[in-house]
Amino acid sequence: MARKPTNYWDYLRLEELQGLQGGLERDDTALTNDEVLFIVVHQVDELWFKLAIRELVSVRDLFRKVPVPEQSLASAVRGVRRLELLFHQIGGQFALMETMTTRDYLGFRDKLSPASGFQSAQLREVEILFGLGSEERIPLGGEKSYIDALKHADGRESHASKAVAARLEDRPSVLEVVDDWIYRTPIQGSRPEDEGDDEVVGRFVEAFITAHASEVKAFLDNARANANNDEEYALLERRYQAQLASSASFLRAEDVEVSDGDSAPRLRTRRVRAALTFIESYRELPLLAWPREVLDSLVALEQAFLIFRQRHARMVERMIGRRTGTGGSAGVDYLDSTALKYRVFRELWAVRSLLLRQDALPALENAATYGFVAGD
Ligand code: HEM
C-alpha cells in the first residue's frame, strides 16, 4: 500500500509544539513578547538538554565495553564534540534573553515563584551522567535538598523527582567508565594485569618527576641570572618549588589515604594519573593518538559546560542583580559557586599543570606495544 505523503507540520508536530508557549494562562496571546521569549528560550534549552542526555548515555555505553573497541573511539569523540557544541549553543542563547530589560522581566517574575531552573530535572540528569556526586552539591539554601526541590510543593513525588531518582540508579557515570578505561592504558608497555606493573608505573612516575625537576632547575637558573633582586628571585623560587612538590605529590597520589596498610586505592589513582600523563606525553604513538583526542574532547566539553554556567550567572546578574532567586537561592552567588566548584574531570585538568615539552620527556620504553614502527 502506498505511504501517505508526509507533511512538514505533521512530522514535526508543529500544531502541538506551537500550542505550548501559553504559560500559566495557557494562551500566548495574553502574554508579553518578553514572557514568550522567556518561555521559548527555556523550552529550546530543555530540548537541547534532552539531546545531551541521549549523547551522554551513548558515550557512556561506548566506554562501558571492556576492552573499548579501538574503532569506537572516533565515534566517542564525535559524540563528545557534539555535546560540547550543544553547551556552547545553550550558553549562546542567554544573549537573546538579555534583550529583555529588568523592568520587563519583573513584570511577570512574581508568578514564577517558587519555580526555578533549579527544578530542571534534565540538567540534574546531565550532571549525574557526567559523574557529579550528590555529596559534592552546593545547598540551595533553606532545608531542601536538590532532590526535594524537584518534588511537588506538598512533598509528593513529581515527574522531575522520579526522572532524577531513576538516573541516580542508572550507573555507571561517564566519569567512572572513562576512569576505568584510562586505568587500563599500557604504561611503558606494561598493563595492569602484567607482573611487576606497579614497579613499571612507579619508575615512570619517578622518571617524570625527575624530568620535571630538571626543567624547573633550568628555569630557575635562568631566572636567577635575570632577576632584578634577591627578593624577586626568592619569590619565584618558592612558587616553582611548591608547584614541583605538588606535582610530585599528585603523581604519587599521596592525597589518597593508605588505611590499614591497604595501598591498592593509592596505586590505582597513581596508575590513572600516570596513564593520563603518558597519553598526553607520547600522543604520537598510534595506539595513543585517539585516546588523547578523547581526553581533549572531554576537557573541551567540561569547559563548554563551565562557560554555560558562568554565562548564565552573568546574564542573571545583569537581569536581576544580586537579589534572591525565585527558587530561594542566593541567586548569582549560588550560580557562581556552582561554576567554580562543580568539576567532574578533575584529573584531566590537573595533569595540564605538570606536562613537559617533548624533548624533556623520560625515554619511552616498549614503543612496539603502541603500534609504533621504527622509521614511522
Ligand atoms: C531572565 C532569565 C533568567 C533568570 C533571571 C534566571 C535566574 C536564575 C537563578 C537566580 C537561579 C538560581 C536558583 C534560584 O534561586 O532560582 C537559576 C538557576 C537555574 N537556571 Fe536560570 N535564569 C534565567 C534564565 C534561564 C534560562 C534561559 C535557562 C535555560 C537553561 C536557565 C536555567 C537554569 C538552571 C538549569 C538553573 C539551575 C542551576 C543549578 O542549580 O546549577 N535559566 N536561574
pLDDT, one tens digit per residue, over 171-214 is 999 999 999 999 999 999 999 999 999 999 999 999 999 999 99
Which atom number of ligand 1 is nearest to the Cα of residue 90? 30
Provide the residue count of the chain. Answer: 376
Q: What is the mean pLDDT of residues 322-330?
A: 88
Collapse the DSSP code of 262 into the 3-class scheme (helix H, G, I; strand E, B; otherwise coil) and give the result.
Answer: strand
pLDDT tens, position by position, 339-357: 999 999 999 999 999 999 9
Angle between helices 174-183 and 264-281 (to 10 degrees): 80
Statement: residue 303 has pLDDT above 60: yes
Which atom number of ligand 1 is nearest to the Cα of residue 334? 12
What share of the chain has pLDDT > 70, as a percent?
98
Cell of 39: 518561555
- Largest distance between two CA atoms of the chain: 90
pLDDT tens, position by position, 232-263: 899 999 999 999 999 999 999 999 999 999 99
What share of the chain has pLDDT > 90, as a percent?
90
The C-alpha atoms of residue 85 and residue 175 are separated, in whole angstroms, by: 19
Close Cβ partners of 226 (under 8 Å, ≥ 6 residues apart): none
- pTM for this structure? 0.95
Mean of the per-residue pLDDT values of the chain: 95
Q: What is the mean pLDDT of residues 130-157?
A: 89
Which atom number of ligand 1 is nearest to the Cα of residue 324? 15
Statement: residue 153 has pLDDT above 50: yes
The C-alpha atoms of residue 210 and residue 203 are separated, in whole angstroms, by: 10
What's the pLDDT at 86?
A: 98
* Closest C-alpha to ligand 1, atom 42: 117
* Closest C-alpha to ligand 1, atom 30: 45
Alpha carbon separation from 5 to 9, 12, 16, 19, 112 (Å, rounded) = 12, 14, 20, 24, 42
Close Cβ partners of 349 (under 8 Å, ≥ 6 residues apart): 299, 302, 343
10 Å Cβ neighbour count for 362?
20
pLDDT-derived band at 374 (thresholds 50, 70, 90) equals: low
Q: How far is the CA of 285 from the centre of ligand 1 (A)?
A: 44
Which atom number of ligand 1 is nearest to the Cα of residue 46? 30
Kindly state if the Cβ of 339 falls inside 6 Å of ligand 1. Answer: no
The C-alpha atoms of residue 200 and residue 362 are separated, in whole angstroms, by: 13
- Quote the DSSP letter at residue 32: -
Q: How far is the CA of 323 from the centre of ligand 1 (A)?
A: 13
Residue boundaries of the structural domains of the chain: 17-188+271-350
CB 73 within 8 A of CB 59: no
Alpha carbon separation from 81 to 58, 91, 200 (Å, rounded) = 13, 15, 34
- Choose one of 34, 89, 116, 132 to mutate for the ligand 1 pocket test, by most ligand atoms within 8 angstroms of C-beta: 116
Q: How far is the CA of 117 from the centre of ligand 1 (A)?
A: 4
Strand partners, 132: none
Cell of 231: 627578593
Q: Is the dihedral of CA 137, 140, 141, 146 positive or negative?
A: negative
CATH topology of domain 17-188+271-350: Methane Monooxygenase Hydroxylase; Chain G, domain 1 (1.20.58)
Statement: residue 331 has pLDDT above 60: yes
Which atom number of ligand 1 is nearest to the Cα of residue 105? 1
Q: What is the mean pLDDT of residues 355-360?
A: 97
What's the pLDDT at 376?
A: 44
Q: How far is the CA of 107 from the centre of ligand 1 (A)?
A: 17
Q: How far is the CA of 376 from the centre of ligand 1 (A)?
A: 52
